[in-house]
Amino acid sequence: MIYTILHNPVCSTSRKGLDLLTENGIEPVIRKYMNESERLSVEELRDIARKMGGVGPRAFLRERNATEAGLSAAASDADVFAAMANDPKLIQRPIGIKGDKAVLGRPVERLLDIV
């Protein structure tokens, strides 16, 4: 089964996560979701939330960037998903996806939970 990592190469935690996977013999498909051509759609973000166990989007929202982006604490899930799709810096990283499972790599060792 394919392991995909949502990766931002300028993020040290994301780089550590990718290194951890490769050190453990996992060669993931790397999706650089910050690139315009690889951005995540609202539907993909909803699917990731479902694969994380049915969590809401705030489970993988970078809260410190949310305020800067004008996203209030009272924003609906639909608004948060839309904001994340529009501005990928709002997405916490790295995220590992394999089959019907997804995990936020905070700490990065959690990426191994779905291997």
Would residue 11 show up in a list of annotated catalytic residues for this protein? yes
* 10-34 residues labelled b (16+ CB within 10 A) or e (exposed): ebeebebbbebbeeeebebebbbbb
Q: How many Å apart are CA 11 and CA 67, to the nearest integer?
A: 20
Q: Cβ neighbours of residue 10 under 8 Å, at least 6 residues apart?
A: 34
Catalytic residue among 4, 11, 16, 42: 11
* Catalytic residue numbers, as ranges: 11
